[in-house]
Chains A and B, each alone.
Chain A
Amino acid sequence: MIAQETLTPEEMAEIDHEIALVPVRRAAAIEALKIVQQHRGWVSDDSLHAVAGYLEISPEELDSVSTFYNLVFRRPVGRNVILLCDSISCYVMGYEKIYEQIRERLGIAFGQTTPDGRFTLLPNACLGTCDHAPALMINNELFRNVTENDLDEILDRYH
C-alpha cells in the first residue's frame, strides 16, 4: 500500500531538529518515531511509511527498529497507558495481586485496552524503584508502594 499520510509541518520541524544533531539522517529514526507517537498516540503503518520516507530509509528497515523497542506502540493505545512492573522485586512484593485487581476493576489483561478507550494495560520490565515495590506508571507518572487499597483511587484520577 502506498502511504497516503504525510508528516505535519510541526512533526517535520521536530524531526529536522533531531536530524541536525546526528551525522547521518537515519540516526534520528528512534527520535522520529517518538515524535510521531507523541503527536498521534501510536505509530500506524501509514505513519511509519511517512517517517521512513522522510528519513530516506525503507519502511521495512524502520519497522524492524520500531518493533524492536518496547515502548513504540504499533497498535492504538487508550488515552492512558498503565505500565505495571512485573520484574523480580515487584514479583516478590506481590505485583500479581495488583494485576488481578486491575483485571477485575477494568476488565483488561496485559496488552488489552478498555472498550471505552480509557486505559491500555502493559507489562513493563523493572521500573528501577525496587525499594518501593510494587510499582507502576500511568502515562508519565510513577506510583510506588502500590497497595490493593490505593489502586482504585489511583485509577480514578485518569479519565
Chain B
Amino acid sequence: METPLTQHISFDRPCYSLRDYEKNGGYQALRKALSLSPENITNIVQASDLKGRGGAGFNTGMKWSFVPMNGHYPVKYLIANADEMEPGTFKDRMLMEGNPHQLIEGMIISAFAIQANISYIFLRWAYKKAGRLLKHAMDEAYAAGYLGKNILGTGYNLEMYLHTGVGRYICGEETALLNALEGKRATPRAKPPFPQVSGLFGKPTIVNNVETLCNIPHIINNGPDWFKSLGKGNDAGTKIYGVSGRVKRPGLWELPMGVSMRELIDDCAGGMANGYGFRGALPGGASTDFLVKEHLDINLDYKSVAAAGSRLGTGTMIILDDHTCPVGFVHNLEHFFAQESCGWCTPCREGLPWTEKILLSIERGEGKPEDLDLLDMHTRFLGPGNTFCALAPGAMEPLQSALKYFREDFEKHIDQKKCPWR
C-alpha cells in the first residue's frame, strides 16, 4: 500500500532537513513542474481528481482554473490554510511537524501553477512546533534557491511568509482568512466575487488546505492516473484519516481514499477501549452528521459518506461511546460553535447561543418536551441557505443527526429530569 504523504514522516527522529528531503526525492517535483507550463500543471491536478482536504471536497485543479491567467494581474496570492481548528481534527499538525518541506514544495508548485508571486502559510497560534519547523524549512528553501527571486534559474519569483493567527475558528473559512490576513476581523465575505478573482487585497487568490497542498508534489511526480489508482472507490488518492475518543489506539493513518469505517475503527484504532461500546461517530470533525452502527461498513469517500447522510469533512473521526451522554456531547459542540460564531449574521449569532442554552437545560434536567421541537426548528432555521456562511449549517449537522439517532436519550433527560449519565 502506497503512503506518499507520510512515507518520510517518523516521529522517532527529527523531521527531515532540506538535505534529507532532497536525498529522498524532495524538490524533484518542483524541478519537473517548473519545466511545464502553468496551465499544464493545473490540468494535471484537475485530471488527478484531487479534492480539497479541508472539508469542502472541491476539485483542486478546477479551483485553480478560475484564476485569471491573461497577464493582466501582476499580483496574485497562494495561501496554505493551516488554521486547523475544527474540533477533533489534528492531521495538518502531523503533516507540518512531520515533513515541513513537503508542504513548502507543494506550495511553490501550486503558486507557479497560478503564477502567484507571494504566498502565505496561515498557521494557527497553538501550533508552536509546526511554526518553528516551518520557519526553519523556509529559511533552508530560500538559501537553496527554491524560494525568492529567479527560482532554480527559471526567472520565476516567489516570496513565502508565515502568519500565525490569534485564534478564531472562522479563520478557517477562506474568505474570513483573507480578512484576518488584511488585519481585520475575520468575518466571511460575500461570494461572488470569489477569491480566485478577487481575494487578498482584492487580488486573485487561491486558498488550499495543508493536506491538499502536500499531495501536489506526488501528483506531479507520478501523474494523475497513479493518483487515481490510489483510491479504493469513488475518490482519488490517499487520505489522512484519524480517530479520537474511547478507542484502544487513537491516532492518524494514511489510507486509500474510501477505506471502510469499520476498518478504520477496528483495524487501525484497535476497536473500542475495554469496557466501552460504540454508539456513533462524527466522521470528519465537529461539523459533520453522526454516523451510527448501521453505517460501519460504508466507505469513507465523499460520495459514500454523503449518501449515508453525513460528510467526509476533514476525515478525522470523533467517537461517541456508550459511557458518554449524547446530549452532553452535542452541548459541548454547540457551545464551541456559539463561542466561535463571528456574529455577522443574525441566525448564527442569536441561534447558536439559544441552541446551546436549550441543550444545557436539557442536560441539567430542566428540559421541557417542547424543547425538542425548538431544537428541530433551529436545525432548519440555521440550516443551509439561511446564514451568511457555512458555520451555522455545519453546527446543525451533529445536532440534527443526534436528534434523529439519539432522540430517546434526549427524552430520557426530560422525563427523568436529570442526566442519566451523571
Contacts and interface: CB of A to CB of B under 8 A. Distances in A.
Interface of A: 21-24, 26-31, 33-34, 64-65, 68-72, 83, 86-89, 91-93, 124-133, 137, 140-142
A123 B1 CA distance: 41
B340 A68 contact: no
Contact of A133 (B89, B168, B244, B321): B244
Nearest to B129: A142
B93 A129 contact: yes
Interface string B236-247: 000000111110
Nearest to B118: A21
> Which of B84, B124, B282, B319 neighbours the largest number of chain A CB atoms within 10 Å of its CB?
B124
A56 B407 CA distance: 54
A124 to B, nearest CB: 7
Contact of B168 (A33, A69, A141): A69
Interface residues of B, number: 56
B127 interface: yes
A88 B342 CA distance: 20
Q: 3 closest pairs, A vs B, by CB?
A: A29-B183, A130-B244, A70-B167
Contacts of A127: 126
Contacts of B332: 86-88, 91
A92 B245 contact: yes
Given A29-B184, A86-B332, A130 B90 contact: yes
A128 B82 CA distance: 11
Contacts of B181: 27
Contacts of B250: 130-133
Given A33-B166, A88-B336, A89-B87, 18 more contacts: A23-B201, A68-B168, A68-B185, A68-B186, A69-B168, A70-B167, A71-B167, A86-B335, A88-B318, A88-B333, A92-B246, A92-B329, A93-B246, A124-B126, A126-B85, A127-B126, A131-B251, A142-B128
A125 B343 CA distance: 17
B29 interface: no
Contact of A131 (B84, B185, B243): B243
B161 interface: yes
B301 interface: no
The winner among A31, A65, A88 for most chain B CB atoms within 10 A is A88
Contacts of B124: 128
Contacts of A30: 165-166, 180, 183
Contacts of A128: 84-85, 89-90, 92-93, 124, 126-127
A61 B93 CA distance: 33
Given A70-B168, A125-B87, A126-B86, A131 B244 contact: yes
B416 interface: no
B185 A65 contact: yes
A21 B319 CA distance: 43
